[in-house]
Amino acid sequence: MGEHESTGKPLYSTLDNGPRFARVLATFVADLPAMAAEIERHAGASDLDRVAKLAHRMKGSAGGYGFPDIMELATALEGDARAGDVVLVARGVESLRTLCARARAGAEEATLS
């Protein structure tokens, strides 16, 4: 996939994080690995219809929270699932899982832990 997946660097929201938004963003980021795992579970069961629906949901959420790389990958995954391309879905799921694990709510998050 794209170069943004292979760097391993943290992935931050492109939106301005005001105090109210920061809490909501932190919740979204914390939920991303579970969302990716659910997509992976359905892909493993060859339920591509469900993969497409979950990828579509993630695409919208990621876009709304300022994660265009995740949105772009979820868009591709949705299309691959709708097309029934099991090989591309498997690759996309792996890339999505990796990318979601890199997402961070903000730079200050690192100093709070």
Q: Which two tokens stand for residue 70?
A: 């995740």
Sorted by where each starts, the structural domains of the chain and their CATH numbers stand as: 13-105 (1.20.120.160)
Dump pLDDT digits (tens) for 16-75: 767 788 889 999 999 999 999 999 999 999 999 999 999 999 999 999 999 999 999 999
Asked if 87 contacts 46 with a C-beta cutoff of 8 angstroms, the reply is no
Dihedral (CA of 9, 15, 18, 24) sign: negative
Query: Which letter does DSSP use for residue 2 in this model?
Result: -
Asked if 55 contacts 40 with a C-beta cutoff of 8 angstroms, the reply is no
Instruction: Give Cα 84 distance to the centre of its chain.
Output: 20
pTM of the model: 0.84
Task: State the pLDDT at residue 107.
Answer: 54
